[in-house]
Amino acid sequence: MSTVGFIGLGIMGLPMAANLVKAGFEVAGYNRSPGKIAKLAEQGGTAAGSVAEAVRGADVVITMLPDSPDVQAVVLGEDGVLANAASSTLLIDMSTIRPDVAREVAAAGAERGVRVLDAPVSGGEAGAIEGNLSIMVGGADDDFAAAASVFDAVGGTIVHVGPAGAGQTVKAANQLIVAGTIELVAESIVFLEAHGVDTEAAVKVLAGGLAGNRILERKAAGMLAREFTPGFRVELHDKDLGIVTSAAREAGVTIPLGALAAQLMGALKAQGHGGLDHSALLKLVEQLSTHDKA
């Protein structure tokens, strides 16, 4: 598999597509914003003028889109991926969407002879740039094996977690954990500052103990500096938490801390901060606290 059509060149998609180019794949990229297509072309990719142009002739098609309706429109639409893909094509949806939509896409692909994997990722912009994303994959064993070289070009931890939709279910759990961890790190930072502790020193020692986690490693410095340039936007995490809470209700599972994290993320978005990094939950913790940061 040497030719990839890549649809969705956003914060995550563009560096992922660039890493595929570096790995030797021929990558035709398409994005609604032409500027992103030009950036891929500067890095050795080919500019596609439409979804159809990116898909035709591709061995593999990757979609990296914001939400379930976007994937449905691009994949199932009149001139979308399935309408233009050859029967031998492997479609890998790396977006974060509802598990039921992932199963819908897989079933539609099967009707046309197109193999489909749902393979959402975790690791943020840094992981996408570094090519060491965690990839959780749902779909058939043979299709997972066929995609190995593609996944190796963009990921570090790559695990087949079950049939169609399973990747998205695992990603929902991932987003639940990440949101809760960000909230607890935010609360800890505000708590430490209120007590006059050297927070940089505190974060260093916390990261070395049982409280150590990737949020402390990758997000704490920005949180301490109140620098919330998006690696993963609040509005997207809010969407993901909606997926989690809905799926939990359907399964009869109680997620009280997750539900609270979802409410807080939604409140931050409602305040107009949807474009900030999700670590901006710190802003909400400060607003709800009586302590004023010096």
CA separation (Å) from 116 to 21, 25, 50, 146, 152?
A: 22, 19, 21, 11, 18
Dihedrals phi, psi of 233, to nearest 5 degrees: -75, 150
The alpha carbon dihedral of 189, 193, 199, 205 has a sign of negative
Which residue do the tokens 């690696």 mark? Answer: 231
Which residue do the tokens 């209700």 mark? Answer: 249
232's CB contacts (< 8 A; 6+ apart) are 11, 124, 125, 277, 278
Q: How far apart are CA 265 and CA 280, in angstroms?
A: 9
The catalytic residues are 171
| Range 187-197 burial, b when 16+ CB lie within 10 A, else e | ebbbebbeeee
Give yes or no for a contact between 72 and 95, defined as CB atoms under 8 angstroms apart.
no
Cα atoms found within 13 Å of the Cα of residue 74, Cβ hemisphere only:
27
Tell me if residue 262 falls in helix, strand or coil. helix
Give yes or no for a contact between 118 and 93, defined as CB atoms under 8 angstroms apart.
yes
